[in-house]
Amino acid sequence: MFTLAGVDKRYGSTVALDGVDLHIAAGHRTALIGPSGAGKSTVLRMLIGLEWPDRGQVRFDGEPLRRDALLEQRRRIGYVIQEGGLFPHLSAGDNAALLARTLGWPRERIRERLEALSTLCQLPVDALQRFPAELSGGQRQRVGLVRALMLDPPVLLLDEPLGALDPVIRHDLQAQMRELFARLGKTVVMVTHDVAEAAYLADTLVLLRAGRVVQEGSARALHDAPAEPFVREFLQAQRSLEACL
Ligand SMILES: Nc1ncnc2c1ncn2[C@@H]1O[C@H](COP(=O)(O)OP(=O)(O)OP(=O)(O)O)[C@@H](O)[C@H]1O
pLDDT digits (tens, 9 = 90+) for 28-47: 999 999 999 999 999 999 99
DSSP state of 240: P
- Is 14 near ligand 1, meaning CB less than 6 Å away? yes
Task: Write the pLDDT tens digit of every residue in 53-62.
Answer: 999 999 998 8
| Atom 13 of ligand 1, residue of closest alpha carbon | 16
42 lines ligand 1 (CB under 6 A): yes
Evaluate whether 84 touches 39 at the Cβ level (below 8 Å). no
State pTM to two decimals: 0.91
Q: How high does pLDDT run on average in the chain?
A: 90
Q: What is the ipTM of this complex?
A: 0.97
The verdict on the CB of residue 11 being under 6 Å from ligand 1 is yes
Atom 7 of ligand 1, nearest CA residue: 11
The whole-number average pLDDT for the span 120-136 is: 90
pLDDT of 214-226, one tens digit each? 999 999 999 999 9
CB-side neighbour CA atoms (13 Å) of 187: 15
pLDDT interval class at 238 (50, 70, 90):
confident
CA 235 – ligand 1 centroid, Å: 21
Considering the chain, tell me which residue range(s) the CATH 3.40.50.300 domain(s) occupy: 2-76+155-244
16: CA distance to ligand 1 center in Å? 6
3-state SS class at 51: coil
Rounded Cα–Cα distance for residues 141 and 159 (Å): 11
Phi, psi (5° rounding) for residue 216?
Answer: -135, 130
At 159-185, the pLDDT tens digits run 988 876 778 878 888 888 898 888 888
Q: Which fold has domain 2-76+155-244?
A: Rossmann fold (3.40.50)
Q: Residue 233 and residue 236: Cα distance in Å, rounded?
A: 5
